[in-house]
Amino acid sequence: MLQGKEKPSSVSPPQTHDICTIMYTSGTSGDPKGVVLTHENVLALVRGMDLFMEQFEDKMTVDDVYLSFLPLAHILDRCIEEYFFRNGASVGYYHGDLNALLEDLSELKPTLFAGVPRVFEKVYEGIKKAVAQLNPVRRTVFGMLYN
């Protein structure tokens, strides 16, 4: 049954004080809890990011891509996504398997890759393993370029 067609309603845009989302903590530093964020909170965040980004010559464009692999309940991920959406840039979501993250990176070619230490340690270990398998000349060249 198509109730929407039978009972149309007018658009009701959110007000600044309306709840936009509830972010939950994991409880790693205490009891788990939810933090209510209003639309005003999210808009203030995005405007703050605008002000921060104005300091740099390289500006975000609609061609920018963010690879989202943190849980959607992670505040860092949500902040980045809101900023990308606001600026008309793209957000891609990973397969859900950190072992396939390199595939996602090569497919999406993100211009921003944000993460947490555990992920960067995994990337670092993968690079170290690949370099160790290079022949000695290539390993030396890699070391020179890296330095």
pLDDT tens for 99-126 read 788 889 899 999 988 887 877 888 788 8
Give yes or no: residues 69 and 131 share one domain.
Answer: no
Domain of residue 133 covers 116-147
Does residue 71 carry a pLDDT above 80? no
50-64: pLDDT as tens digits: 899 889 888 889 999
Are 123 and 105 in contact by the 8 Å Cβ rule? The answer is no
pLDDT value at residue 1: 55
Q: Please tell me whether residues 63 and 99 are part of one structural domain.
A: yes
Smallest Cα–Cα separation from 22: which of 32, 10, 9, 13? 32
Would you report the helix, strand and coil content of the chain in percent, each value rounded to 5?
Answer: 45, 15, 40
Total number of domains constituting the chain:
2
- Other Cβ atoms within 10 Å of 33 Cβ, number: 11
In a domain, 141, yes or no: yes
Predicted TM-score of the model (pTM):
0.69
49 part of a folded domain:
yes
- Whole-angstrom distance, CA of residue 91 vs CA of residue 110: 9
